[in-house]
Structure 1
Amino acid sequence: MAYRYANRNQLQLFPSSIEDYIPLDDPVRAYDAFVEALDLEKLGLNLDPHQAGNPQYHPKVMLKLVVYGYAYGIRSSRKLERANHHNLSFIWLTSGLTPDHKTIAEFRRKNRSQLADILKQCAKMCIQLNLIEGNTLFVDGSKFKANASIKKSWDKKKAHKVLKAIDQRIADILNQCETVDEAEKGCGSLVKMDQELQDQDVLKTKVQGILKELETKKQTSLNTTDPDCTRINSLAGTHAGYSVQSVVDEKHGLILSADVVSENNDLNQFSRQINQANALLEHKCQVACADSGYASTTELAKIDQQGIKVVVPSQRQASEKIPSPFAKDQFSYDKIHDCYICPEGHTLTFSSLNKNKKNGHKHYLISAKKICLACPHYGVCTSSQHGRKVIRLVNEELREKFEAQYKEPESQAIYRKRKAKVELPFGHIKRNLGVNAFLLRGLPGVKAEASLFGTCFNLVRMITLLGVTTLVSLLKEIGGKYPTSLGGIG
């Protein structure tokens, strides 16, 4: 079979302008049109084409570079710089301008709060284009590693352990110094010991500062590299990280809002995330759905009180385990007398109230422990020497309401859509784009990156739904509604 050969020295006839290099249906044109449609003044970017001093790159150029790079998993400032020299799409996007990696990194660092609001404008555009309805919203969270090592995370136990070791080492150094003084042997070792003693004192001061900060902020742990991150437990192990929260619309699976929190679970996030999404919609959704990780009765109640239907299974419903014959649900509750009746007909009366900031619990005990000890089911129902105890939430009726609501056929149909809608964006970000950790540190930085992730996913979906040429024309119409005075690109 013959081979194909090429000659690098052969003359080629290329288009005379950069514009001719990119076809009209190339996806890069959609990203260009999106940034052109953004209201930069509302975004908070400083626009002054007549400012004095050395000319700088226009914010739109930098935004296009960052957004397009993130859309294809290119986040490093050095990789963005390289792509801007060698990738034709990037060259077209920036009109041939070549900001270096320091300029790119500085732009991203200085405009973290502005980048964090890009997703809001993107969602507003989707609402204008009737791609987001806001009737049914799905909430989900995913854990991402922080740009910090778990070894730099400190808690009180670790701090006290290190302080104890430092004190012991200081005592050892002082004892060695006394021994050397008595023997009057050379000074070389004394100089080394003095330096080590000083190093130990510096370390002790640092650890004491960490302990003080833990007590002041009332935190369980503190990472010295990124103080805003927390200890995250995931399938990938334990690491320093953040939880990214996403609210997705049912119609086309577009992200309405994204947030980042320093928490290891989702229990406290349901009402906050739904309220943020509703604020962007400027109206209340009809249904709010999430998995059992959000099953905090207090949180669900905050949304239920607004007249929004809540579709969230309890932990018990999610486990789908067959309840034992002596599970709490097998005990009947007497609301009038505020007591429980066990399957054998014995009464468990109210004992105490355990007050909790989130959920209060009421404890019910068997009237006499000898009843349980003499029961043929002792050891199966309970093995406690004090007899059976049942714990009931203060708002137990609300929990039962949400469980019954989840079982409704209509709710089941909604819940079946959850995975396909709300977990798809995280799959795209983590698998397709290869994102498993943030590059920036601190909550402002990671929120900016999360906003970029959400924006890029929405743009990919919009291209799929509308096509490049249609989307570009629609974005141009939207962009015309924003009054700007940008001047030329400098």
Structure 2
Amino acid sequence: MAYRYANRNQLQLFPSSIEDYIPLDDPVRAYDAFVEALDLEKLGLNLDPHQAGNPQYHPKVMLKLVVYGYAYGIRSSRKLERANHHNLSFIWLTSGLTPDHKTIAEFRRKNRSQLADILKQCAKMCIQLNLIEGNTLFVDGSKFKANASIKKSWDKKKIQKVLNNIDQRIATILNQCETVDEAEKGCGSLVKMDQELQDQDVLKTKVQGILKELETKKQTSLNTTDPDCTRINSLAGTHAGYSVQSVVDEKHGLILSADVVSENNDLNQFSQQINQANALLEHKCQVACADSGYASTTELAKIDQQGIKVVVPSQRQASEKIPSPFAKDQFSYDKIHDCYICPEGHTLTFSHLNKNKKNGHKHYLISAKKICLACPHYGVCTSSQHGRKVIRLANEELREKFEAQYKEPESQAIYRKRKAKVELPFGHIKRNLGVNAFLLRGLPGVKAEASLFGTCFNLVRMITLLGVTTLVSLLKEIGGKYPTSLGGIG
């Protein structure tokens, strides 16, 4: 059997122009066209060709390098530098310019807020190209690890434990000092103990400073490496991280907006994320959909009051458990007489208002406890000697409205699309690009990275929907509205 061989010393003829390196339908041309179409002034990138000093790399060159790198999971500044020397696509994209890793890292660090707004301009382009309609929006969140160890997270319990250990160690050292013989002074025992004592005092001062900062910020925990991150509980365990929020349009599954929050759950995010997306659309969506993780009646009501249909299941609707025949929803509420009727036909009347709760929940009790004690279902429905009790939430009517709304056939059809639309971007970012953690620290940094992730996903979808040559042509029309000093669109 014959084998193929090659000689690396054989002379090769490369194209004389960098432009000829890349075919017209190569995806890299779409990324180049996208950056050329950006309005840098609106982004806030400083363009001053007359500034003193050594000439800098044009912001568009740096943006192309970063955006294209993120699109293929290359985020490290050193890896970007290496790719820019060895990968023809990168060489073409930067026109042969070779910024080093320090320059790349510095550009990304200094322009975090500008990078965080790139997704907004990308979404605006999608709206202009009629790829985003904004009629039905899907919201979802996913946990990402922070560039910090959970071991660097402190809460009051951990701080108090460490302080107690320090005090015990200091007391032990002082006791040892008293028992050291005078003859041992020359051996340095007391000198070593004195140094350790100083180290413990320094550590105690540092830990007390963390406690003071924790109390000042009124937080339950604080990470000393990345103070903006929070303790995240996930299937992978507990780690320091962030929650990335994404709002996706129904038409083509394109990301309309993305945000990053220091929250362990999604309960407080629904109205904020939908309102941000509507602001970008410049009109209100017709339907807003999310999973049960967003089922906060207060949050859903804020969107419902705007005339937007809310399709979000409650926690009990999302649960796969078989409902008990004596669960609360099996009791019918009589609004006129303000009472509940149990499955056996007995009445539970209003007892009192729970003043400990912020909104005041209402308690309903069986009219006579002997009714429950004599009931054949006693022990299943309730085992209380005082009989069955039902608590009605202050916003129970709204909750029932949203539950009924979710059950509608039209709502069910919308909800069935949710996974395919809003979970796909996170799947692409985490599985295809291998991104499970942020590189940058602090909210400004992670928001910049989240914006880049969303932008890169949208560009992949736009290439799939329109094709490279068509997309480049359309982006060139959009880019013609803004002045540019680069002629990078091929």
Under a length normalisation based on structure 2, what TM-score does the superposition of the two structures give? 0.96
Structure-to-structure mapping, 1:295-306, within 5 angstroms: 295-306=295-306
Give the whole-Å Cα distance in 2 for the aligned partners of 1:33 and 1:56: 21
Query: Are the aligned partners of 1:57 and 1:489 in contact in 2 as well (CA < 8 Å)?
Result: no
* Distance 1:212-1:374 versus aligned 2 partners, 3 A rule: farther
Moved more, 210-219 or 85-94: 210-219
Alpha-carbon deviation of 1:182? 7.0
Contact kept in structure 1, 2:69 and 2:80, CA below 8 Å: yes
Query: 1:322: Cα distance to partner?
Result: 2.7
Q: CA deviation at 1:14?
A: 1.6
Q: Which residue of 1 aligns with 2:433?
A: 433
Answer yes or no: is the 8 Å Cα contact 2:33–2:489 preserved in 1. no
- Tell me which residue corresponds to 2:410: 410
Closer, same or farther in 2 for the Cα pair 1:36/1:302, shift >3 Å?
same
165 and 322 in structure 1: CA distance in 2 versus 1, 3 angstrom threshold = same
State the 1:383 CA deviation.
Answer: 2.5
CA distance in 1, matches of 2:461, 2:48: 34
Q: Distance in 1 between matches of 2:128 and 2:375?
A: 67
User: How far is 1:309 from its partner?
Assistant: 0.6
Secondary structure of the structure 2 residue equivalent to 1:62 = helix
- TM-superposed CA distance for 1:349, in Å, is 3.1
Shift of 1:366: 3.3
Shift of 1:209: 1.6
Distance 1:475 1:488, change over 3 A: closer
Match of 1:235 in 2: 235
Shift of 1:352: 3.9
* Residues 356 and 315 (structure 1), Cα distance of their counterparts in 2 relative to 1, 3 Å cut: farther
Secondary structure (helix, strand or coil) at the match of 2:417 reads: helix
Q: Which residue is equivalent to 1:398?
A: 398
Q: Partners of 2:371 and 2:182 in 1: how far apart?
A: 76
- State how far apart, in whole Å, the 1-side matches of 2:154 and 2:351 are: 39
Q: How many angstroms does 1:198 deviate by?
A: 1.1
Q: Deviations over 1:383-422 (max 9, x none)?
A: 2344322222211111111111111111111111111100
Q: Distance in 2 between matches of 1:205 and 1:81?
A: 42
**Offset of 1:47 from its aligned partner?**
0.5
| Secondary structure at 1:336 match in 2 | coil
Identical pairs, percent:
98
Cα distance change, pair 24–484 in 1 and its aligned pair in 2 (3 A) = closer
CA-CA distance at 1:184 after TM superposition:
6.5
Structure 1 residue 338: deviation in Å?
A: 2.3
Do the aligned partners of 1:361 and 1:393 also contact (CA within 8 Å) in 2? yes
* 1:427-456 Cα shifts (integer Å, max 9, x gaps): 000000000000000100000000000000
- How far residue 487 of structure 1 moved from its aligned partner, in angstroms, is 10
C-alpha spacing 1:122/1:369, structure 2 compared with 1 (3 Å): same
- Output aligned runs, 1:196-211, within 5 Å: 196-211=196-211
**Which whole-Å CA distance do the structure 1 matches of 2:393 and 2:462 have between them?**
45
- Residues 292-316 of structure 1 show CA distances to partners (whole Å, capped at 9, x for unaligned) of 1111111111111100111111111
Could you give the per-residue CA deviations for residues 124-148 of structure 1, whole angstroms, max 9, x where no partner exists? 0000000000000000000000001
Give the whole-Å Cα distance in 1 for the aligned partners of 2:23 and 2:356.
Answer: 62
- Contact 1:49-1:486 at 8 Å conserved across structures: no
Q: What is the RMSD of the two structures over their aligned residues, measured on CA atoms?
A: 2.1
1:224–1:352 distance in 2 versus 1, CA, 3 Å: farther
Matches of 1:356 and 1:271 in 2, distance apart?
A: 26
SS in 1 for 2:365: strand
Aligned mates of 1:371, 1:186 — CA distance in 2: 87
Whether contact under 8 Å (1:288, 1:311) holds in the other structure is: yes
Query: Once structures 1 and 2 are overlaid, which stretch shifts more, 168-177 or 250-259?
Result: 168-177
Q: CA deviation at 1:381?
A: 1.2
Structure 1 residue 103: deviation in Å? 0.7
Task: Call closer, same or farther: CA 1:4–1:430 in 2, change over 3 Å.
Answer: same
Match of 1:471 in 2: 471
CA pair 386-357 structure 1, distance change in 2 beyond 3 A: closer
Change (3 A) 1:175 1:372: farther
The secondary structure found in structure 1 opposite 2:123 is: helix
**Could you tell me the TM-score, scaled by structure 1's length?**
0.96
The alpha carbon displacement at 1:212 in A equals 1.7
Tell me the SS of whatever aligns to 1:33: helix
Q: Which range moves more in the overlay, 325-334 or 466-475?
A: 325-334
SS in 2 for 1:157: helix
User: Would you say the 8 A contact 2:143–2:242 is kept in 1?
Assistant: yes
Q: Structure 1 101/360 Cα, relative in aligned 2: closer, same or farther at 3 Å?
A: farther
CA shift for structure 1 position 191: 1.1
CA distance in 1, matches of 2:281, 2:260: 20
How many residues align? The count is 490
* Gap change, CA 1:171 and 1:385, over 3 Å in 2: farther
- Check the 8 A contact 2:36/2:488 in 1, yes or no: no
Seen in structure 2, the aligned counterparts of structure 1 residues 165 and 298 have a Cα distance that, compared at 3 Å, is same
Change (3 A) 1:253 1:396: same
Whether the 8 Å contact between 1:47 and 1:486 is mirrored in structure 2 is: no
Q: Distance in 1 between matches of 2:355 and 2:399?
A: 17
Structure 1 residues 462-482: Cα deviation after superposition (integer angstroms, max 9, x where no partner): 000000011001000000112
Indicate if the aligned counterparts of 1:230 and 1:240 stay in contact, CA closer than 8 A.
yes
Give, in angstroms, the shift of residue 188 of structure 1: 0.8
Change (3 A) 1:181 1:376: farther
Q: Which residue of 2 aligns with 1:351?
A: 351
SS in 2 for 1:56: coil
**In the TM superposition, what is the alpha-carbon distance from 1:5 to its structure 2 partner?**
1.6
CA contact (8 A) 2:30 2:472 kept: yes
- Residues 215 and 351 (structure 1 numbering): CA distance in 2 closer, same or farther, change over 3 Å? farther
**Aligned pair in 2 of structure 1 residues 305, 442: CA closer, same or farther (>3 Å)?**
same
Shift of 1:378: 2.4
Q: 2:348 aligns to what SS in structure 1?
A: strand
Gaps of 5+ in 2: none
- Structure 1 residue 344 displacement after superposition: 3.2
Q: 8 Å contact 2:138–2:288 — kept in the other structure?
A: yes
User: How far does residue 357 in structure 1 lie from its aligned partner after superposition?
Assistant: 8.3
How far apart are 1:196 and its partner, in Å? 1.0
- CA pair 74-487 structure 1, distance change in 2 beyond 3 A: closer
Q: 1:181-203, CA deviations, whole angstroms, 9 ceiling, x for partnerless residues? A: 67765461111111111111111
Q: Indicate conservation of the 8 Å contact 2:24/2:469, yes or no.
A: yes
Over 3 Å counting, the alpha-carbon distance change for 1:456 and 1:161 in structure 2 is same
The CA distance in 2 between the partners of 1:321 and 1:313, in whole Å, is 14
Contact 1:48 1:486 in 2 (8 A): no
The gaps in structure 1 that reach 5 residues or longer are: none
Q: SS where residue 184 of structure 1 aligns?
A: helix
